[in-house]
């Protein structure tokens, strides 16, 4: 299996608080390595209009050094300018790595929009906001939760990516886990080694080689019953493998309503790809 045969697009979600060139570069390089089309999706925050409708709503205007009624038209103009700037930057980055790309500006809310535009043949990319405070907001939690409940695969990019090359680490919850096949295809396309963390009762070596479809592994790590919810345990288990990507399926690992994938990405400082089972 090639990655292209299972996925067609890498869809990168952008917002005002997730508007970072490095995140776009990581997404573009991934799309280039996997031979995927890159689609940028900038979601306009439609909650601004709702907020401005409240009679008591105020904004602090720095130039006037005073709280004043919200100037909705000005905020909408600034938001549109930000979206256009994001489009120019996105297009430049995509061209630099020779990735076919498209860009779309749509109204929000972000969580519902990201989930609705993605399908089973997409990899939905969510970049962690640069500001740590934005990562704990309710809106970001809703965004991750909506993505995890969609039919798309989800790629989570941490604020700071430590490595853009290195082994592909697969956390396998079963001998025939989908992550093994996808991880192998990614490793082949990226010309990287693959490491499988066997979080299941181990089979005979012959059966495991058949499941791997003949691909040799740099390393196998037995880890029966490992829980991705324990990020410190997982990080200690993986150790210093210098991986560039972690891949696993969401069944059995995603903590409902939590940010486990983001926690792992931030802990290891590499992107995390979460697949539909």
Cis upstream peptide for 109 (omega within 30°): yes
29, 83: one domain: yes
Residue 71 is assigned to a structural domain of this protein: no
% of the chain at pLDDT higher than 90 = 21
Structure-token pair, residue 239? 């150790």
90, 193: one domain: no
Residue 265 is assigned to a structural domain of this protein: yes
Provide the CA 186 distance to its chain's centre, in angstroms.
Answer: 15
28, 119: one domain: yes
Residue 108 is assigned to a structural domain of this protein: yes
Q: Give the per-residue pLDDT at 134.
A: 54
The last residue of one of the domains, among 123, 157, 191, is 157
* pLDDT beyond 60 at 210: no
Mean pLDDT computed over every residue of the chain: 79
Residue 60 is assigned to a structural domain of this protein: no
101, 143: one domain: yes
Q: Give the per-residue pLDDT at 267.
A: 86
Tens-digit pLDDT profile for residues 147-173: 887 888 999 999 888 888 899 999 888
Q: Give the per-residue pLDDT at 247.
A: 93
CATH number of the domain to which 151 belongs: 3.40.50.620
Query: Of 33 and 246, which is predicted with more confidence?
Result: 246
Q: Give the per-residue pLDDT at 147.
A: 80
132, 183: one domain: no
Q: Give the per-residue pLDDT at 100.
A: 95
Rounded Cα–Cα distance for residues 48 and 61 (Å) = 16
Rounded Cα–Cα distance for residues 38 and 95 (Å) = 11
141, 219: one domain: no
Total domains present in the chain: 2
The last residue of one of the domains, among 107, 123, 157, is 157
* pLDDT beyond 50 at 31: yes
Band of residue 200 on the pLDDT scale cut at 50, 70, 90: confident
112, 222: one domain: no
* pLDDT beyond 80 at 270: yes
Residue 102 is assigned to a structural domain of this protein: yes
Of 19-33, 39-53, 84-98, 126-140, the range with the lowest mean pLDDT is 126-140
The last residue of one of the domains, among 102, 126, 157, is 157
Using DSSP bridges, classify how beta strands 245-249 and 272-275 pair: parallel, antiparallel or unpaired: parallel
% of the chain at pLDDT higher than 70 = 74
Band of residue 214 on the pLDDT scale cut at 50, 70, 90: very low
183, 251: one domain: yes
Would you say 179 and 171 are in contact if contact means Cβ atoms under 8 Å apart? yes
Range of the domain at 268: 168-275
* pLDDT beyond 50 at 206: no
* pLDDT beyond 90 at 30: no
Crossing angle of the two packed helices 21-34 and 72-96, in degrees rounded to 10? 40
Using DSSP bridges, classify how beta strands 272-275 and 153-157 pair: parallel, antiparallel or unpaired: antiparallel
CATH number of the domain to which 253 belongs: 3.40.50.1980
Residue 263 is assigned to a structural domain of this protein: yes
Rounded Cα–Cα distance for residues 143 and 13 (Å) = 10
Q: Give the per-residue pLDDT at 91.
A: 95
CA torsion sign, 212 to 214 to 218 to 223?
Answer: positive
Q: Give the per-residue pLDDT at 139.
A: 66
223, 266: one domain: yes
174, 147: one domain: no
Of 3-7, 89-93, 155-159, the range with the highest mean pLDDT is: 89-93
Residue 64 is assigned to a structural domain of this protein: no
Band of residue 260 on the pLDDT scale cut at 50, 70, 90: confident
Query: Of 63 and 178, which is predicted with more confidence?
Result: 178
25, 123: one domain: yes
* pLDDT beyond 60 at 72: yes
139, 9: one domain: yes
Tens-digit pLDDT profile for residues 97-129: 999 999 998 887 777 777 777 777 889 998 887
Q: Give the per-residue pLDDT at 208.
A: 43
Residue 61 is assigned to a structural domain of this protein: no
* pLDDT beyond 90 at 37: yes
């Amino acid at each position: 299996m090639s990655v292209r045969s299972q996925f067609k697009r890498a869809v990168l979600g952008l917002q005002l608080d997730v508007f970072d060139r490095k995140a776009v570069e990581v997404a573009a390089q991934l799309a280039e390595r996997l031979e995927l089309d890159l689609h940028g999706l900038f979601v306009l925050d439609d909650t601004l209009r709702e907020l401005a409708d409240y009679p008591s709503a105020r904004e602090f205007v720095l130039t006037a050094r005073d709280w004043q009624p919200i100037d909705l038209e000005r905020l909408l103009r600034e938001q549109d300018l930000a979206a256009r700037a994001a489009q120019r930057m996105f297009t430049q980055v995509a061209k630099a790595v020779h990735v076919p790309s498209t860009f779309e500006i749509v109204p929000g809310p972000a969580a519902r929009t990201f989930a609705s535009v993605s399908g089973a043949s997409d990899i939905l990319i969510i970049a962690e906001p640069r500001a740590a405070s934005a990562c704990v907001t309710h809106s970001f939690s809703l965004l991750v939760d909506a993505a995890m409940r969609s039919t798309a695969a989800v790629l989570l990019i941490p604020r700071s990516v430590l490595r853009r090359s290195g082994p592909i680490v697969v956390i396998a919850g079963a001998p025939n886990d989908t992550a093994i096949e996808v991880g192998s295809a990614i490793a082949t396309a990226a010309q990287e080694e693959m490491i499988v963390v066997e979080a299941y009762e181990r089979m005979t070596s012959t059966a495991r080689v058949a499941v791997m479809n003949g691909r040799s592994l740099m390393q196998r790590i037995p880890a029966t019953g490992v829980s991705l919810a324990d990020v410190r345990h997982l990080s200690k288990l993986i150790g210093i493998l210098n991986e560039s990507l972690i891949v696993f399926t969401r069944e059995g690992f995603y903590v409902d309503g939590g940010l486990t994938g983001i926690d792992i990405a931030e802990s290891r400082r590499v992107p995390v790809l979460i697949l539909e089972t």
